[in-house]
Amino acid sequence: MSGDTSYMNKHLWELDQELFTMIQDEKNRQKECLEMIASENYTSLSVMECLGSCLSNKYSEGLPNARYYGGNEFIDKIEILAQKRSLATFSLDASEWGVNVQPYSGSPANFAVYTAVVEPHGRIMGLDLPDGGHLTHGFFTPQKKVSATALFFEPMPYKVDPDTGLIDYDQLAQSARLFKPKVIIAGISCYSRVLDYKRFRQIADECGALLMADMSHVSGLVAAKVIASPFDHCDIVTTTTHKTLRGPRSGVIFFRKGVRQVKPSGEKVMYDLEARINAAVFPSLQGGPHNHQIAGIALCMAQAQTEEFKNYQQQVVKNAQALCTKLQSHGYKISADGTDVHLLLVNLKSVGLSGGKAEFILDEVNIACNKNTVPGDASALNPSGIRLGTPALTTRGLKEHHFSKIADFIDAAVKLGLEIQKKSGPKLVEFKRVAVEDFKDQIEKLKNEVKDFALGFPLPGHDDY
């Protein structure tokens, strides 16, 4: 292609068939697979059009009306629109809340918050990863600081009650009084109950901490008012936009403005989060924002205000609860004994199959999920559970009775996994070898059943890529 500009206006399928075929293969996988990874969803065709637009061409370091480059007249309008719609989606008053729509994704958004309000080696508290928290909430092990959050800041995890699977707020309060963190993070990656933001607020106030919610998983449910909003009690709220919000792969930070507290003397203490968080995003951590993503945010936030979206979020929860009930009827233990949201955590300890083996055999039969720690697990690398989510399949139009059928597929796959394990022994590498060599026919039979079922439901987006 050197010296030849003719490729500049050719379609991908004309120019690079090798790559285009790989993309088509992925599209076919998505069509034929039951996507149950709780953090995944299908975005709309219109959001995809934003992501593939001319906005990818523009550099726009800085904020609207304060850029380091020229030519941003229309980029500014798009970002301001994304800001306004983000506030409106969550019913926020612009005099009380501000928003930054530039984070590249959820993890950079969280790190920007810590950079803004916690000094190096300052203290934070988040839900422990094995108990349902996220890596960016400060995960570390005795051997290694796994997340950069733990490398640059000093985290203390809080835990769930191992018997109930519910957050132990009393223990959190006691630890916070001793640890005195700068920030307490109310957020989850695999926790199936609604968070008690009011209790978090009381605990944060008692130890003088800022309260940050990471609602990345549940922001769609919050927007639709299906579950309680963190904005009533929190100082800072972060979210991704590609999970339950069904937008582009991006991140957003909301922050309080105005009066933080009034001292007994009557003196007002103001929030100072806006300038600090904006400066942490750029120039501290990022360069030019991804304008195509910001346009996608503006669009998905408008879509999240529709009645169709609210009905979708209600169905997401109904489907998760139907899946949960049917799996329990098959004898599976569900962490926290149920779900209020879009996901559930299946504890396979009593079944006798590891999370890694369950994930593998489910993937082999076209059901995508992820292995996940359950309360009490000693290692995140060898977890005892699987996390299942309903947002993506609900986008494809599945209802409660369909998820009852999916529970039967999952049960059949786990039982097949137990048969494989009898022959392979405990090692995962042997389990995989025996599965593909000795159980090929059984796997193929179940896979075809799942495939035929999945193909009955359309995907949004382009037809073949």
Strand 343-347 and strand 385-389: the pairing is antiparallel
| C-alpha–C-alpha distance, residues 160 and 436, integer Å | 38
**CB contact set of 431 (below 8 Å; sequence gap of 6+):** 357, 360, 417, 420, 421, 424, 425
What would the mean pLDDT of 245-253 be, rounded to a whole number? 98
Q: Residue 402: which of 456, 448, 443, 446 has the closest Cα?
A: 456
Given a cut of 70, whether residue 78 has pLDDT beyond it is yes
Q: Residue 258: which of 55, 95, 57, 405 has the closest Cα?
A: 95
Quote the pLDDT of residue 1.
45
How far, rounded to the nearest angstrom, does the alpha carbon of residue 316 sit from its chain's CA centroid? 15
Mean pLDDT of the chain: 96
What would the mean pLDDT of 69-85 be, rounded to a whole number? 98
| C-alpha–C-alpha distance, residues 183 and 377, integer Å | 26
Output the six-digit token pair for 30: 């998505």
Tens digit of each residue's pLDDT (9 = 90 or more) over 121-167: 999 999 999 899 999 999 998 899 999 999 999 999 999 998 899 99
Output the six-digit token pair for 267: 């003196």
Domain boundaries, the chain: 54-304, 307-456
- Phi and psi torsions of 255, nearest 5°: -145, 145
pTM check: above 0.85: yes
Output the six-digit token pair for 325: 């009930």
Confidence of residue 175 (pLDDT cuts 50, 70, 90): very high
**CB contact set of 240 (below 8 Å; sequence gap of 6+):** 39, 105, 106, 109, 216, 219, 249, 250, 251, 252
Quote the pLDDT of residue 382.
87
Given a cut of 80, whether residue 269 has pLDDT beyond it is yes
- Phi and psi torsions of 101, nearest 5°: -105, 15
Q: Is 242 an annotated catalytic residue?
A: yes
Given a cut of 80, whether residue 115 has pLDDT beyond it is yes
Other Cβ atoms less than 10 A from the Cβ of 310: the count is 16
The rounded percent of the chain whose pLDDT value lies above 70 is: 99
In which residue are the tokens 């926290």 written? 336
Given a cut of 80, whether residue 33 has pLDDT beyond it is yes
Quote the pLDDT of residue 3.
54
Confidence of residue 350 (pLDDT cuts 50, 70, 90): very high
Given a cut of 90, whether residue 379 has pLDDT beyond it is no
Fold of the domain spanning 307-456: Aspartate Aminotransferase, domain 1 (3.90.1150)
Q: Which range is least confidently modeled, 62-71, 355-364, 380-389?
A: 380-389
- Of these residues, 134, 137, 217, 242, which one is catalytic? 242
Burial of 88 (0-12, 13-18, 19+ CB in 10 A): middle
What would the mean pLDDT of 248-275 be, rounded to a whole number? 94
| C-alpha–C-alpha distance, residues 383 and 371, integer Å | 7
Given a cut of 80, whether residue 380 has pLDDT beyond it is no
Tens digit of each residue's pLDDT (9 = 90 or more) over 305-319: 999 999 999 999 999
| C-alpha–C-alpha distance, residues 211 and 231, integer Å | 10
In which residue are the tokens 């005099």 written? 95
- Of these residues, 190, 300, 324, 369, which one is catalytic? 190
Quick one: three-class SS letters along the chain?
A: CCCCCHHHHCCHHHHCHHHHHHHHHHHHHHHHCEECCCCCCCCCHHHHHHHCCHHHHCCCCEECCEECCCCCHHHHHHHHHHHHHHHHHCCCCCCCEEEECCCCCHHHHHHHHHHHHCCCCCEEEEECHHHCCCHHHCCCCCCCCCCHHHHHCEEEEECECCCCCCECHHHHHHHHHHHCCCEEEEECCCCCCCCCHHHHHHHHHHHCCEEEEECCCCHHHHHCCCCCCHHHCCCEEEEECCCCCCCCCCEEEEEECCEEEECCCCCEEECCHHHHHHHHHHHHHCCCCCHHHHHHHHHHHHHCCCHHHHHHHHHHHHHHHHHHHHHHHCCCEEHHHCCCCCEEEEECCCCCCCHHHHHHHHHHCCEECEEECCCCCCCCCCCCEEEEECHHHHHCCCCHHHHHHHHHHHHHHHHHHHHHHHHHCCCHHHHHHHHHHHCHHHHHHHHHHHHHHHCCCCCCCCCCC
**CB contact set of 285 (below 8 Å; sequence gap of 6+):** 108, 111, 112, 115
Given a cut of 60, whether residue 425 has pLDDT beyond it is yes
Given a cut of 90, whether residue 395 has pLDDT beyond it is yes
Cβ–Cβ < 8 Å for 384, 232: no
CATH architecture designation of domain 54-304: 3-Layer(aba) Sandwich (3.40)
Cβ–Cβ < 8 Å for 416, 445: no
- Phi and psi torsions of 177, nearest 5°: -65, -35
Q: Is 292 an annotated catalytic residue?
A: no
Given a cut of 60, whether residue 180 has pLDDT beyond it is yes
Confidence of residue 2 (pLDDT cuts 50, 70, 90): low
